[in-house]
Structure 1
Amino acid sequence: MPHVQTVLGPVAPQSLGRIMPHEHLFSLVPGPWLTGGDRDTQIELAVDALQGLIPAGFRTVVDLSPYGVVGRDADGSNVDALREVSRRTGLHIVAGTAVYLESFSPRWALDASLDELTARFIADANVGIGGHGIRAGIFGEQATSLGEITPHEEKCLRAAARASNETGLAISTHTTHGTMALEQIGLLRSEGVDLGRVVIGHMDTHADPSYVRRVLDEGVNIAVDTVGKQVWEFFLGPASSDREEGEFEKRAYFRSDERRADLVAELVAEGHGDRVSLALDLTGAEVWMNPGTHGQTGYSYLARIFLPMLRDRGVSADQCERLVTTNPARILTIETAS
Structure 2
Amino acid sequence: MTFIRTLRGDIKPQDLGFTYAHEHIVCRPPYWVEKQESDLLLDDKEKSMLDVEDFKRHGGKAIVDASAVDYGRDVQAVHAISEELNIHIVGTAGFNKSFLWEASIKEELKPLIGNYQTYTEWIDTASINDLAAFVVREVEEGLEGTRYKAGQVKFGTGYNRITPLEVKTLQAVARAHHETKAPLHSHTEAGTMALEQIELLKKENVDLSFMSFGHMDRNPDPYYHGQIAKTGAYLCFDGIAKIKYAPESTRIQCILELVKKGYENQILVSGDTARKTYFKHYDYGLGLEYIIAKWVPRFIDDATKQGFDGEGLIRKFFIDNPARCFAFK
Check whether TM > 0.5. yes
1:60 aligns with 2:73: no
Aligned partner of 2:295 in structure 1 is 306
**Counterpart for residue 110 of structure 2:** none
Matches within 5 A, 1:31-180: 42-69=44-71, 71-72=72-73, 78-105=74-101, 106=119, 107-140=121-154, 142-180=155-193
Where 1:297 maps in the other structure, the secondary structure is coil
Q: Summarize the Cα distance change of 1:223–1:295 in structure 2 as closer, same or farther, 3 Å threshold.
A: farther
> Could you tell me which amino acid in structure 1 is paired with residue 92 of structure 2?
G
Deviation at 1:80, TM superposition (A): 2.4
Q: Give the counterpart letter for 1:175 in structure 2.
A: T
Q: Is the 8 A contact 2:177 2:184 kept in 1?
A: yes
Q: Structure 1 pair 150/285, CA: closer, same or farther in 2 (3 Å)?
A: farther
Task: Tell me if 1:333 matches 2:327.
Answer: yes
1:22 aligned partner: 22
Q: 1:108 to 1:206 in 2, by over 3 A?
A: same
Using the alignment, how far apart are the partners of 2:37 and 2:137 within structure 1? 34
Give the corresponding residue for 1:190. 203
State how far apart, in whole Å, the 1-side matches of 2:246 and 2:200 are.
Answer: 28
> For the structure 1 residues 22 and 86, does the alpha-carbon distance in structure 2 shift closer, same or farther, using more than 3 Å as the test?
same
Q: Secondary structure at the match of 2:136?
A: helix
| Contact 1:221/1:275 (8 A) holds in 2 | yes
More helix by share: 2
TM-aligned CA distance change 1:26 to 1:221, over 3 Å = same
What amino acid is aligned across from residue 48 of structure 2 in structure 1?
A
TM value normalised by structure 2: 0.84
Secondary structure, in 3 states, of the residue corresponding to 2:54? coil
1:89-138 Cα distance to aligned partner (Å, 9 max, x none)? 11011101121111212242343221110111111111112222221100
1:87 maps to amino acid: E
Contact 1:102 1:153 in 2 (8 A): yes
Structure 2 residue 308 is the aligned partner of structure 1 residue 318: no
Amino acid at match of 2:319: T
Moved more, 161-170 or 296-305: 296-305
Task: List per-residue Cα deviations over 1:27-55 (Å, max 9, x = no partner).
Answer: 49986899xx89xx632122111112113
C-alpha distance in 1 between matches for 2:312 and 2:212? 21
User: Residue deviations 1:238-277, cap 9 Å, x none?
Assistant: xxxxxxxxxxxxxxxx211111011112222321110010
Structure 2 counterpart of 1:185, one-letter code: I
How far is 1:318 from its partner?
Answer: 1.5
Q: Which runs of 5+ in 1 are unaligned?
A: 73-77, 232-253
Residue 328 of structure 2: SS of its match in structure 1?
A: coil
Aligned with residue 279 of structure 1, among 250, 261, 270? 270
* Inter-partner Cα distance in structure 1 for 2:186 and 2:55: 24
Where in structure 2 are there 5+ consecutive unaligned residues? 102-118
* Paired letter, 1:210: Y
* 1:58 partner SS: coil
State the AA in 2 paired with 1:128: G
Indicate how the Cα distance of structure 1 residues 55 and 136 shifts in structure 2: closer, same or farther if over 3 A, else same.
same
Q: How many residues align?
A: 298
C-alpha distance in structure 1 between counterparts of 2:139 and 2:27, whole Å:
23
In the TM superposition, what whole-angstrom CA distance separates every residue of 1:195-235 from its partner, at most 9, and x where no partner exists? 1000011111114221111111222111111111222xxxx
Post-superposition offset of 1:20: 0.9
8 Å CA contact 1:13, 1:329 repeated in 2: yes
- Give the secondary structure class of the aligned counterpart of 2:287: helix
For the residues of structure 2 that align with 1:196 and 1:33, how far apart are their CA atoms? 36
Q: Is the 8 A contact 2:63 2:89 kept in 1?
A: yes
RMSD over aligned CA atoms reads 2.4
Q: How has the CA–CA distance of structure 1 residues 281 and 123 changed in structure 2, closer, same or farther, with 3 Å as cutoff? A: same
For 1:295 and 1:184, how far apart are their aligned partners in 2? 37
With over 3 angstroms needed to count, the CA separation of the structure-2 counterparts of 1:225 and 1:162, relative to structure 1, is: same
Say whether 1:297 aligns with 2:291. no
1:249 — aligned with what? none
Cα distance in 2 for residues equivalent to 1:43 and 1:130: 18
- Which residue of 1 is the match for residue 107 of structure 2? none
Q: 1:147 to 1:45 in 2, by over 3 A?
A: same
Query: Could you say what secondary structure the match of 1:298 adopts?
Result: coil
Answer with 25-34 or 1-10: which moved more.
25-34
